[in-house]
């Protein structure tokens, strides 16, 4: 029973830490803040995690495993055309769940240099996944681009994917998750749109209309 309680407390610490890091910012959140939020003593938290750096490392483990499984999907088996589009939403949603990593990325990697190699591995996997999606769409004649354009286009898509959450947070501070995620997908679709065949532009138009529907109330209330 005691070990089960310890596991539950440990999981609660990670869950609470993730919530606070995402909402309040990781640099301004201390282990005391986490303990206070959970209504436990700092000593109890220290029993499970002897410092914020260990909490961050464990959260990164979760992030790396979860996102890694998603990014590997199109590498292990090509997705059908429609699933490739919705796949972008899944990637953004998983990143959003750990958005504190992206909103302060440079400073985070400076303070925790042991994460740099691992984040580069994630970045490499992102690029491989986006390239796999593009190659599938090319084989299905959904998109068409000159060979010398593909590398630059994939790099631009990965660049947007990696820094969108930080950009959105800097520009808007805080917005509804659905809006942040959908606009991120829309921005990627804008990059892809010039290379779409006529038959595939219908989905792009649908994405654009959904985005306009979501953004209109937010703009009116600003």
pLDDT above 60: residue 219: no
With b meaning 16 or more CB within 10 Å and e meaning fewer, what string describes 162-180? bebbbebbeeeeebeeebb
Q: May I ask the CATH architecture of the domain 56-221?
A: Orthogonal Bundle (1.10)
For residue 217, the model assigns a pLDDT of: 58
**What average pLDDT does this structure show over 85-94?**
92
Residues 102/162, Cβ–Cβ less than 8 Å: yes
Specify the residue for token string 């400076």. 110
For residue 7, the model assigns a pLDDT of: 64
With b meaning 16 or more CB within 10 Å and e meaning fewer, what string describes 39-70? ebeeeebeebbeebeebbebbbeebbeebeeb
Task: Kindly report, residue by residue over 124-145, the tens digit of the pLDDT.
Answer: 999 999 999 999 888 888 888 8
Fill in the DSSP letter of residue 140: T
pLDDT above 70: residue 14: yes
For residue 199, the model assigns a pLDDT of: 65
Task: Kindly report, residue by residue over 104-118, the tens digit of the pLDDT.
Answer: 899 999 999 999 999
For residue 220, the model assigns a pLDDT of: 47
Task: Kindly report, residue by residue over 18-68, the tens digit of the pLDDT.
Answer: 999 999 999 999 999 999 999 999 999 999 999 999 999 999 999 999 999
**In this structure, which CATH number among 3.20.20.70, 3.40.50.150, 1.10.760.10, 1.10.10.60 belongs to the domain 1-50?**
1.10.10.60
Residues of the chain with CATH 1.10.10.60: 1-50
- Structure tokens, 62: 């979760």
Residues of the chain with CATH 1.10.357.10: 56-221
Lowest mean pLDDT among 35-39, 62-66, 76-80, 91-95: 76-80
**What average pLDDT does this structure show over 86-90?**
91
**What average pLDDT does this structure show over 147-154?**
91
pLDDT above 70: residue 216: no
Under 8 Å CB-to-CB from 27, ≥6 apart: which residues? 104, 107
Q: For the residues of 44-109, what is the DSSP string, one character each?
A: HHHHH-SSHHHHHHHHHHHHHHHHHHHHHHHHHSPPPHHHHHHHHHHHHHHHHHTTHHHHTHHHHH
Q: What is the pTM of this model?
A: 0.88
For residue 151, the model assigns a pLDDT of: 92
Cα distances from 26 to residues 54, 144, 221, in angstroms, run: 13, 42, 29
- Structure tokens, 95: 């990143």
- Structure tokens, 207: 């994405």
Measured between alpha carbons, how far is 187 from 150 in angstroms, rounded to an integer?
A: 17
Q: Is the dihedral of CA 81, 83, 87, 89 positive or negative?
A: positive
């Amino acid at each position: 029973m005691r070990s089960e309680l310890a596991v539950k407390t440990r999981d609660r610490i990670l869950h609470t830490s993730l919530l606070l890091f995402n909402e309040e910012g990781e640099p301004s959140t201390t282990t005391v803040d986490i303990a206070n939020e959970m209504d436990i003593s700092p000593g109890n938290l220290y029993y499970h995690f002897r410092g914020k750096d260990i909490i961050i490392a464990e959260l990164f483990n979760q992030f790396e495993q979860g996102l890694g499984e998603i990014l590997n999907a199109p590498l292990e088996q090509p997705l059908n055309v429609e699933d490739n589009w919705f796949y972008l939403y899944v990637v953004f949603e998983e990143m959003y769940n750990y958005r504190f990593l992206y909103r302060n990325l440079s400073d985070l990697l400076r303070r925790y240099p042991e994460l740099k190699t691992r984040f580069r591995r994630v970045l490499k996997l992102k690029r491989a996944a986006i390239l796999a999606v593009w190659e599938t769409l090319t084989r299905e004649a959904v998109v068409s681009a000159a060979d010398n354009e593909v590398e630059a286009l994939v790099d631009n898509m990965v660049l947007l994917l990696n820094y969108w959450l930080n950009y959105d947070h800097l520009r808007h501070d805080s917005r509804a998750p659905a809006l942040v995620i959908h606009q991120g997908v829309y921005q990627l679709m804008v990059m892809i749109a010039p290379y779409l065949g006529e038959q595939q532009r219908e989905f792009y138009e649908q994405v654009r209309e959904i985005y306009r529907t979501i953004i209109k109330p937010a703009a009116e209330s600003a």
